[in-house]
A and B are shown apart, each in its own frame.
Chain A
Amino acid sequence: MVEIAANNGHNRASSSKSIIMLTFEDFPPGHLGTYGPRRVTREEILAFAAEFDPQPMHLDEEAASRSMLAGLSGSGWHLCSIMMRMMFDGYIGRTASLGSPGVNELRWLAPLRPGDDLTLDVDVVEARVSRSRPETGIVTFKGQVRNAAGQVLCEMVSPIIVRRRAGIAAEQG
């Protein structure tokens, strides 16, 4: 993925035949895709929790069994970070993205468990041209992460800023 990221710059897109750069025009409202599955291991859950979220419910089997989540669960921020990676592998890695201003809403609906196989569903809920930077557009995504049983673990609505095709053509012209 690092190689794709390195070739991801819009200036190089034309010289890299294998990389198809997605622009604002490629994100009309509607279902974008389903990505995964991605297995999450106990070791990953423990390592993330140890570094960023060392609460007993994410680290210790015994304490976790007594918590509201009734068993060892991954940090919600770990789940968000995995969702980011699944979005990157699914489409952001080949999108002329300029970054994201934030997240409108994120809901943790069910715990992430060791061994879960995650799939990500993404819909474009809104796509509009930026008023302040007309060479870019703002695409708002809704992402839902499910486990193998189809239970939704996490749901997020978040915009990203994406170059318009015309904007790229003008720069390269």
Chain B
Amino acid sequence: MRFFEDMAIGQRREVGSFTFTADGIKKFAAQFDPQRFHLDEEEGRKSLFGGLAASGWHVGSVCMKLLVADAQRQAKEALARGEKIAVWGPSPGFRELRWIKPVLAGDTISFASEVESLRSSEKRPEWGILQARNTGTNQRGELVFSLLATAFVPRRSNS
């Protein structure tokens, strides 16, 4: 993971892709979001989604999964170069989450993260606050998911 000083507005990373299977969609939905269009192919086809659709919270959670995996890959690379690892803090939240198009069974979504803003934390001077636009794009190149996430990023100078 990078330190606050390493970040710049406009920086973009491709964080990985994920294929949503029918089984995976139903398993998440049965636990957290058992609306009929997330559980049953026929109900999905009859709905506005036009097919078995992943819960929006499943899509958001998979985005998180890929962001964490990407961060862990970066940490491993930094360690291999003998560099110090930046351990990011928790997120205070997000804004402007858009489920733009349905994610249907069989879709492969590629996620990316782009830095939108950087500022200092007044309460915690050892941390900076980053806003990043995280997006998901399907195999047809259509934007399906977008959110503006906030995170605490440690400063190199204070760690």
Contact = CB atoms under 8 A, between A and B. Distances in A.
Interface of A: 1-2, 5-6, 8-9, 48, 51-55, 57, 67-69, 73, 75-78, 80-82, 84-85, 88, 92-93, 97-109, 111, 161
B36 A98 contact: no
B30 interface: yes
B114 interface: no
A6 B57 CA distance: 20
A51 B65 contact: yes
Contact of B94 (A51, A103, A111): A103
A109 B92 CA distance: 7
Interface string B118-150: 000000000000000000000000000001000
Contact of B60 (A77, A88, A108, A111): A77
Interface stretch (B5-13, B46-54, B76-84, B104-112): B46-54
B4 interface: no
A112 B38 CA distance: 26
B96 A84 contact: no
B56 A5 contact: no
A99 B47 CA distance: 9
A170 B33 CA distance: 28
Contact of A53 (B48, B61, B92, B96): B61
Contact of B34 (A51, A54, A93): A93
Interface in B61-105: 61-62, 64-65, 68, 72, 87, 89-99
A55 B68 contact: yes
B99 A102 contact: yes
Contact of A108 (B39, B47, B62, B92): B92
B127 to A, nearest CB: 8
Nearest to A95: B35
A85 B53 CA distance: 17
Q: Which 4 A-B pairs have the closest CB atoms?
A: A103-B97, A107-B93, A81-B32, A52-B61
Given A88-B33, A99-B35, 20 more contacts: A6-B39, A9-B46, A52-B62, A52-B64, A52-B65, A53-B68, A54-B72, A68-B90, A68-B152, A75-B61, A77-B61, A77-B64, A81-B31, A81-B32, A85-B31, A97-B35, A102-B56, A105-B95, A108-B91, A111-B90
A84 B57 contact: yes
